[in-house]
Structure 1
Amino acid sequence: MTELATAIIDAHGGLDRWRQFSTLSAHLVQGGALWGLKGQAGLLDDTTVTIDLTQEKASHAPFGADQRRTLFTPGLVELHAADGTVLDSLPDPRASFAGHTLETPWSEAQLAYFAGLAMWTYLTMPFLLAHPGVETEELEPWDADGETWRRLKVTFPADIATHSTVQTLYVGADNLLRRHDYDVEIAGNTAGAHLISDYVTVQGIAFPTRRRIFPRQPDGQPMAQPLVVSIDLDAITLA
């Protein structure tokens, strides 16, 4: 890892502390234009996500009505009934997005795939920088909101399902995340600027609890509208 990657991890609680835990759960309240645009409004407005910290795996519950829940892994998505019955499954889920644009509707299983990879990426970052095969490179700084943010280019290996192979992190003078850029490959490479704030410390790990995602313009600046996704987190638990 680069010096900056190490400093970011240390600022969020350190790798040794992070590796004491194997699961994380958080209550989410979500909004924004994306869910309706994809034909799936309301399913994830108020839910709890649970992720595995030892492998890429996530579950949202409830997922819509009837106490359904999801099971996401990079190679398979399942929708489960409250009693565990498999209601739907999508093998090789990423291949199902071939030819998609931002406006292409998603099935429920495709929504579960996106939500799973997104929340697993968000909640394991920045500790994900230490994953084998992840490469980092410091970029030139960025001026925003009266501050100068350091920037880190992150290149992910093929075994990690995430928004895009190359992403960019922005951090303040305290080395806490301020912004996270990516291109959503499964939605026509739509460019996003993900603004991060309102940190809390849980069991020695620093977590942002407010996330707002806007379109990213060609000059790198986020657009003021539309709000693509909003995520507010609470009840964060590590075990």
Structure 2
Amino acid sequence: MNDLLELAIEAHGGMDRWNKIKSINAELSIGGAIWYVKGNPDVLQEITISADTRQEKVVMKFPRQDKLTVFQPGLIAVKENGAKDFQYFSDPKSIFAGHKLDTPWKNEHIAYFSGEALWTYLTIPFLYTEPGFQTEEIEPWEENGEIWRRLKVIFPENVVSHCREQLSYFGSDGLLRRHDYTVDILGGATGANYAYDYRQTCGLMIPRLRKVYAFEGEAMERKTITDPLLVSITFHSINCEE
């Protein structure tokens, strides 16, 4: 483990604390321009999730819509409108085949995109210590009057995320400030994901607000495009299960 990752791990609560936590549970609302483009502007308002920390799994409940979804890398399950049984999608990435940017999303698309995104966000930086991850500190970055150290991360094939190569930016305190990626299932659309409003929860430092914008340019010349706001994530409450 390189020293930047070590700094980030300690700043976010430490491995000893992380290893005691089985799941992160939250009430949250997700909005932003992408949901209008996909024909579901309010679908992720006032939802609850449970993100498993031991395996890549997110259970999402939609209290206002009588709906439940389960995300796993190789399986999406959807149950709604009082149904007794789930509808299953065993090759979930294939459901995006032929999609264009403005192709509307159904329940299964929302479950897949939201599940893999939230699981990644909630497990960083601890996720980067798992087998198969490759990490390398690259040139620092100046933004908002601060110098942020940057970690280039290559995800292993067995972990589903937006893309294989991602960048995490950490402040001098070791907390994540920004997380850059492209989104494979959106045709390589860019995302600069900013983390705000850190609070200690369950012995971990977790941001309660995230804002995602597009960016353009290569690693040393990236420019954030602040209009429109693509995705906003507001956590109303967070708790953990040990």
Q: TM-score range by the shorter chain?
A: over 0.9
Matched with 1:126 is 125
Matched with 1:37 is 37
Which deviates the most, 73-82 or 170-179?
Answer: 73-82
Q: CA deviation at 1:63?
A: 6.5
Match of 1:226 among 225, 228, 235: 228
Any stretches of 5+ residues in structure 2 without a counterpart? Answer: none
Q: How does 1:54-65 map to 2 (within 5 A)?
A: 54-62=54-62, 65=65
Matched with 1:164 is 163
Q: Percent of aligned positions with the same letter in both sequences?
A: 41
Matched with 2:78 is 79
For 1:231, the aligned partner's letter is I
Is the alpha carbon distance of 1:105 and 1:140 closer, same or farther for their aligned partners in structure 2, counting shifts above 3 Å? same
SS at match of 1:216: strand
SS at match of 1:44: coil
Contact 1:25–1:48, Cα closer than 8 Å, also in 2: yes
RMSD between aligned residues: 1.5
For 2:226, the aligned partner's letter is A
Q: CA deviation at 1:83?
A: 5.8
1:91-138 CA distance string (max 9 Å, x none): 111122234343232221011100111110111111101111011000
Contact 1:44–1:64, Cα closer than 8 Å, also in 2: no
Please report the TM-score for the alignment, with normalisation by the length of structure 2. Answer: 0.94
Which deviates the most, 100-109 or 148-157?
Answer: 100-109
Structure-2 separation of matches of 1:33 and 1:45:
14
1:20 aligns with 2:44: no
For 2:174, the aligned partner's letter is N
Q: How does 1:153-232 map to 2 (within 5 A)?
A: 153-218=152-217, 219-232=221-234
Contact 1:192–1:216, Cα closer than 8 Å, also in 2: yes
Structure-1 separation of matches of 2:145 and 2:155:
31
Any stretches of 5+ residues in structure 1 without a counterpart? Answer: none
1:23-65 CA distance string (max 9 Å, x none): 1101112210111211222211111111111100001111661
Structure-2 separation of matches of 1:111 and 1:51:
16
1:61-94 CA distance string (max 9 Å, x none): 11661x2111110001011247672342211111
SS at match of 1:235: strand
Structure-1 separation of matches of 2:172 and 2:75:
40
Matched with 2:108 is 109
Please report the TM-score for the alignment, with normalisation by the length of structure 1. Answer: 0.95
Q: CA deviation at 1:16?
A: 1.0
